[in-house]
Structure 1
Amino acid sequence: MQRRHVIALAAAVASLTAGTAFAQAYPNKPIRLIVPFAAGGTTDIIARVISEPLGKALGQPVVVDNKGGAGGVIGAQEAARAAPDGYTISMATVSTTAANPAINPKTGYDPVADFVPIINIAATPNLIAVHPSFAAKDHKALVELLKSQPGKFSYASSGTGGIGHLQTELWKSLTGVFVTHIPYRGAGPALNDVVAGQVPIIFDNVPSSLPFIKSGKLVPVVVAAPERLKDLPNTPTFKEVGLEPVNRMAYYGLLASKGTPKEIVDRLNAATRKVLEDPAVKKRIEDTGSFVIANTPEQFAQQIKDELAVYKQVVTKQKLTLQ
């Protein structure tokens, strides 16, 4: 009996030593960063801002791989199935870790159990924007127009079950309007059609919409943020228009797959925090309208759990389904 205990203890020590050695050697090859949306959206923008400097900090390239579709589910599924060695990590969004799992029981992954949070990179305001030709260009006029012609108009989002979808549905339930949902494979394709005038309204993240707003190709109506944004000083927050429950920002972080050693998660967290301390990187993120967060894995894990609980309540209360 004593000999078996000694053997078991020796095996455990050997395993721990091997794991530590593996983590100390990490990384020794390029790292793949899955972005679960098409290129051009906010998730893609944030990923590409940090990927190059993060690769330099780690000593190996960080290669962005866009895997869009199903409101982020396809990319998240692939990320959840990745080997737990730190060589495939993924971007975490409210859509993939809270909104979509809350409304879709068949995502194929558990946003809490199947991932190890690394860091929340940034928080991003969301907004409703319209094409310049649209008759309503402020929140009051928008609600009045949609109420007067229910079902006539449509809105674009990054995909069914994404944050743009669920936040718009929450907004619809609180205002009593009816507008048809047109889902896309990501914010980039959705924006293209709204800017082209094929869909008049979009609920999107500020970073991906802001360039079109600045160029006059989109008109901002209302924003989900703690206060008015410096880039959009004339656009009220949802709180200001009496809709505080909709006034929630999105997060953009990094995840590893379940079972990834803590040493590797901590290494990735430390390297990302170092990158986010760079004034140039911080400015690039803030110039998109986002706020740098750079928290601990434990803090990000709690944020994911809290946001998932919120959207489960929204889905239950509003009786939302994928149909």
Structure 2
Amino acid sequence: MRLLLTCSAATVLVGTTMTFAQEWKPDRPINLIVPWGAGGSTDQVTRVTAPILAEALGVDVVVVNQPGASGAIGTQEVLNAPHDGYTWTANAIANNATYSVSGLLENTNIDAWHVYLSVANVPVVAVPADSQFADFGQLLEALQSDGGRGITVATAGVTSSGGTAIAALSDAAGGFEYNMVTYDGGGPAAIATASGEAMVTTQLAVEQTELIRGGRLRALAVLSNQPLKLDGVDPIPPITDWLPDMPLAPDYFGIFIPSDVPAEVLATVDKIWEEKVMTSPEIQAYAENFGAVFAPSYGAEARALAMPVVILEACSAMERGEAVNDPSTIGIDCETRTETGM
């Protein structure tokens, strides 16, 4: 799979050099809150990663699904818990970094988290197998011709990858309306579309792959500048075939720990991430099978990789009039599309 990435999928970025003065040895299970429903993109890769971390730490890493409010409810639970290293979250980093802009959470930004990235994901526009739309051009014409008000789009919420994808498509196409139907996760949204509850879904490839392979969904386009190649199906054409000037940025997923936990917690997890996760055949196989990019990193390097999609989503929300708080409140200048710092 080839995507518009700032580094090649084969490049492995290592975290900043650390002084590993004291190893953290947890004495009880760690709660890893996935703020989305089971079966979605975050849930999938987290359940592949958690056993690797559990084996290295010597305690259970318990994945807990706590969906609601586009991931904000579960994320708030982590922020409210003691910052002692025993409560983590998993998500797309753009969500955690921009919840304050959307107004779903207050006083939080990317620097509230120590970032561990595992894969990059890409949205796919898909329709039920029996849909009237044979390609994205036909769908786009329908969205533009009648305002799209009668076209239902299944997503995991306004700030989910699917929600931001359909909004970005509207922006790139000059603006069209649609009727969004939200579910507790990307997996349920994709299943609902395959079942005919919605006419379109724009969720991530990893949430749709099996339905596409099984002939229940028809993939029309991938939000990339390159085709998406999946075993067993024809290459999915890039969105730039129809919208050549559409802004694109890779959507990175991973695990996030509050940045103010004890230093030995972060040093220990940094070491495990570098030695175990960044070389994991299990996560590599997951990425190859489900249409993701294996792109692990942590710390400062992970933060730098995440910022393009954070800036894109924060500024796009402001331009659409969806931002409750100006992106400047989290250190983003949308006039220059750069990070200004806090």
Q: Does 1:130 align with 2:127?
A: yes
2:272 maps to what in 1?
A: 271
2:5 maps to what in 1?
A: none
Distance 2:203 2:249 in 1: 12
For residues 21-32 of structure 1, the aligned pairs below 5 Å read 24-32=23-31
Identity within the alignment, %: 23
1:146 maps to what in 2?
A: 143
Distance 1:135 1:34 in 2: 39
Structure 1 unpaired stretches of 5+: 1-19
Preserved contact between residue 154 and residue 200 of structure 2 (Cα < 8 Å): yes
1:258 maps to what in 2?
A: 259
Preserved contact between residue 97 and residue 304 of structure 1 (Cα < 8 Å): no
2:110 maps to what in 1?
A: 112
Q: 1:292 aligns with which of 291, 294, 301?
A: 294
| Cα distance, 1:303–1:276 mapped onto 2, change above 3 Å | closer
Cα deviation per residue 1:193-243 (whole Å; 9 max; x = unaligned)? 212101110111111110000001111111123522221543111223234
1:137 partner letter = A
Q: Please report the TM-score for the alignment, with normalisation by the length of structure 2.
A: 0.81
Preserved contact between residue 249 and residue 309 of structure 2 (Cα < 8 Å): no
Cα deviation per residue 1:294-322 (whole Å; 9 max; x = unaligned)? 21311122334443322221122222368
Preserved contact between residue 98 and residue 304 of structure 1 (Cα < 8 Å): no
| Cα distance, 1:156–1:321 mapped onto 2, change above 3 Å | farther
**Range with bigger deviation, 268-277 or 155-164:** 268-277
**Range with bigger deviation, 211-220 or 168-177:** 168-177
Cα deviation per residue 1:125-161 (whole Å; 9 max; x = unaligned)? 1111111122112111111122233311110111122
1:171 partner letter = L
For residues 36-55 of structure 1, the aligned pairs below 5 Å read 36-55=35-54
Preserved contact between residue 37 and residue 66 of structure 1 (Cα < 8 Å): yes
| Cα distance, 1:220–1:68 mapped onto 2, change above 3 Å | same
| Cα distance, 1:146–1:261 mapped onto 2, change above 3 Å | same
| Cα distance, 1:304–1:280 mapped onto 2, change above 3 Å | closer
| Cα distance, 1:28–1:244 mapped onto 2, change above 3 Å | farther
* Number of corresponding residues: 301
Q: Greater helix percent: which structure?
A: 1
Preserved contact between residue 278 and residue 296 of structure 2 (Cα < 8 Å): yes
Preserved contact between residue 129 and residue 219 of structure 1 (Cα < 8 Å): yes
Deviation at 1:188, TM superposition (A): 2.4
For residues 1-323 of structure 1, the aligned pairs below 5 Å read 24-94=23-93, 96-98=95-97, 100-102=99-101, 104-117=102-115, 119-150=116-147, 151-175=149-173, 176-231=175-230, 233-273=234-274, 274-320=276-322
1:4 maps to what in 2?
A: none
Cα deviation per residue 1:270-294 (whole Å; 9 max; x = unaligned)? 2233134132332123211111112
Deviation at 1:174, TM superposition (A): 2.1
Deviation at 1:244, TM superposition (A): 4.3
Structure 2 unpaired stretches of 5+: 1-18, 325-342
2:179 partner letter = T
Q: Please report the TM-score for the alignment, with normalisation by the length of structure 1.
A: 0.85
**Range with bigger deviation, 83-92 or 278-287:** 278-287
| Cα distance, 1:213–1:84 mapped onto 2, change above 3 Å | same
Cα deviation per residue 1:177-200 (whole Å; 9 max; x = unaligned)? 321111222112212321210111
Preserved contact between residue 97 and residue 308 of structure 1 (Cα < 8 Å): no
Distance 2:155 2:237 in 1: 21
Preserved contact between residue 170 and residue 176 of structure 2 (Cα < 8 Å): yes
